[in-house]
Structure 1
Amino acid sequence: MAKRGSVLRVVSKDELEGALAKGLSAPIEPLAGKPIACVDVRELVAAAHEQGVAAVCDLSVVGAACAAVRLGADVAFASATDEGEMLVWVARGEQRVADAVRGLLSAGREAGDTELALLEQRARTWRASSDAAQVVASYLVCHPRVERVAYPGLRSDPSYEIASRTLENGFGPLVDVRLVGEDSWRRITCTPDDPMAQVARLEQRLRERLS
C-alpha cells in the first residue's frame, strides 16, 4: 500500500465532536480493553470503509506511535492541551473524508512548532515507558505470585503479531496482571524512569499482594 499523506491541525474539542457526528465510524482505539490488547487497526478501518463511512482512530493512549493514516484511517486524533485542544490528522485526497469531515480541514489552525515539539516529547516518553514496561512484563511472567500477564510486547501475548505491525517504537506503558487466586486484572502503568527501580517497587507491592 502506498503511503498516504495527512494534514495535521489543532482544533477545539467541540469542533472535533461535531465532525465525529457526521457519518464517521466509532473511534478505533489501537490499545484498549482490560486485559490490554492491540486491535487490528487496518482490519477495522477496512470494515468501516465497507460500510461507506470514514474511519476514525482515537490515539489518546498511543499518540503518534500508531501511524493510523498509513494504516488506512481517514481521521485520527489525540489531545493537544489540557484546555481541550485536539491534534487531528486528516488524510489527504480522500473523497469520503472531504464529504464527511470537510470542516476539519479548515477548522482551528495548522499545527506548528509547538505541537510538533509536543509530539516529539511524547514519542520519547512512549519509547522509554515502553522499554520499562517490557522489562516489567518479562519480570512478571516469571513471578510465582502471578498467574497471567497481558502485554502486547510479549511474544506469548495473543495480540503480539498485530501489535508488531500496528505500533511503532515500543508497545506502550500499560501492563495488566492477574495474581494467583484472583479473578480480576490489575493494571500497572509504567513510567520513563529506571526499569529496574520500577521492578524493585513492584516486587515490594507483590509481597503485599499489590495492596
Structure 2
Amino acid sequence: MSDTSSWSKASLAAQALGRTDPVTKAVVPPLHLATTYLRDPDNAYRSGFVYGRPDNATIRDTEAVIAALEEAEAGAMLFGSGTAAATACFLALDPGDHMVAPAVMYWALRKWLLTEGRRLGLEVTFVETDDLGQLEAAIRPGKTKLVWVETPSNPLWTVTDIEAAAALAHRAGARLAVDSTCASPFHTRPLSLGADIVMHSATKILNGHSDALAGVLAGAKADEYWARLATIRSGMGAILGPFEAYLLQRGLKTLYVRAPAQARAAQDLAERLARHPQVSRVLYPGLPQHPGHEVAARQMEKGFGFMLSVQVRGGEAAAIATAARVGLWKRATSLGGVESLIEHRASIEGPGTPCPADLLRLSAGIEDVDDLYRDLDEALAAAHR
C-alpha cells in the first residue's frame, strides 16, 4: 500500500486509506461476511479473527478510516446504531456515578438517561452546556465521571465550547464525550480540542445515503474505559453488521464532497429564511446573530453544518401545514442524507419536549438550493393563506 502519511483527510476518505484487495487487486476492498474462522492445527487463531460478534475485517477497515479522520489514537469502534454507541458510554459507568448531560439533546438519549440510566443507578444532571457557568456548577469533583455534550445540539443548534468543556471536565477528574453527529469530522474534530470520546450516529452524514443504521465511537486514549467499551460491545452483541459497515465505508468516500455542499446549502437557506416574512426565527450557528456563532466559527473549521431549524409565524398549526405542503423536501425523520428532509420535531418527541411547537427541523441535502428555497417559500405562503 502507498505511503498515506502525506495524504489529506479528503484523500484518505475517498480511497478508504488507499486499501485495495491483495488477492484480486480490486480497488474496492471486499465485503467479509463470515461469522466464524478456522483455527490453526495447534488450536491458535493466527489470522486474528475468532468469531463475528467481537470482530470482523470489513468493520476493522471502516473503523480505521473513521479513526484517521478523527485523529483518534485509540481507534474507532462501530456499533449497530448511534444510540447503541452512546448508551455504551453510559453503561461503562458504575452505579452511583454522576454524569452531566445537555438539557437539549437527542431526545432518545435523553429519554434513555431519564429511564434506563436512572434505573441502573446513574445520577444525571441536565444543564445548558453552552453556558460554561452552568456546566461548571453541575460538575462535582471526584463524583462526576462523564460530561456528555452535543454540539451543535439537536434541534435548537446550540453550540458548546468543546475546549473549555474538556478543561472543566478534566479538572474535576471526569471524561468529556462529544456527540458530533451534526458536525462530522469534516467540520469539527473534538479529540483535537481535548475531548476523550467522540460519538457519531453514523447513520447520518457519515453514511449520507439513508440506507445503513450505524453508530461509532472514536477515542483519544486506549485506557481502561476504552477497553470497557469494547467489552460492552462484544458482550451485548452490539457490533455493526459487516454489510452496513461496507455501506458506511462507501458513504465515507464522498463525505468531503457532500459535507461542504450541504453546509453551503444550509448557510444559504438560513440567510434567506431569516428574511422571510412567515418565519419568526432561524436557528443556525452560521448566522452572526446566533448566540453560539463565535464559538462555532472557532471550532467548526469549514462551515457550520447541514442542519438548521425555523420557527414559523402562526405557531404549531402553521408549522405543520408548511411541512404538509412541501414537494422537494421529504417529510421524514433523520438527517444528513443527500436528500433534504423536513420534520415537525415536537410531534415526534411528544410530551415534555423542550422543542418549540412552531419549530421545523431542516436537514439540507445536495439538491439545487434555489429549488429547495422555492419549495419552502411556496409551502410557507400556502400555509398562511
TM over 0.5: yes
Give the counterpart letter for 1:43 in structure 2: A
Corresponding residue of 2:285: 152
Report the Cα offset of residue 27 of structure 1. 2.7
TM-score if structure 1 supplies the norm length? 0.78
Give the Cα separation in 2 of the matches to 1:30 and 1:75: 13
Corresponding residue of 1:208: 382
Give the counterpart letter for 1:29 in structure 2: E
Give the Cα separation in 2 of the matches to 1:12 and 1:33: 21
Give the counterpart letter for 2:163 in structure 1: R
Corresponding residue of 2:171: 50
Corresponding residue of 1:89: 218
Corresponding residue of 2:365: 191
1:70 and 2:192 matched: yes
Q: Which has the larger radius of gyration?
A: 2
Q: Select the structure that is richer in strand.
A: 1
Question: Deviations for 1:110-137, whole angstroms, at most 9, x for unmatched residues?
Answer: xx99866543423432211111111111
Give the counterpart letter for 2:220 in structure 1: A
Give the counterpart letter for 1:50 in structure 2: R
Alpha-carbon spacing, 1:70–1:114, altered in 2? closer, same or farther (3 Å): farther
Indicate the percent of aligned positions where both proteins have the same amino acid.
23
Maintained 8 Å contact 1:151/1:175: yes
Tell me whether 71-80 or 119-128 shows the greater mean CA deviation: 119-128
Corresponding residue of 1:129: 262
Report the Cα offset of residue 193 of structure 1. 1.4
Maintained 8 Å contact 1:141/1:149: yes
Tell me whether 128-137 or 97-106 shows the greater mean CA deviation: 97-106
Corresponding residue of 1:7: 74
Count of residue pairs brought into register by the alignment: 202
Cα RMSD of the aligned pairs, angstroms, is 3.1
Unaligned ranges ≥5, structure 1: none
Give the Cα separation in 1 of the matches to 2:215 and 2:154: 23
Maintained 8 Å contact 2:88/2:229: no
Bigger relative contact order (CA 8 A; separation at least 6): 1
Give the Cα separation in 1 of the matches to 2:276 and 2:77: 45
Unaligned ranges ≥5, structure 2: 1-70, 94-144, 204-210, 240-244, 316-356
Give the counterpart letter for 1:20 in structure 2: F
Maintained 8 Å contact 1:12/1:84: no
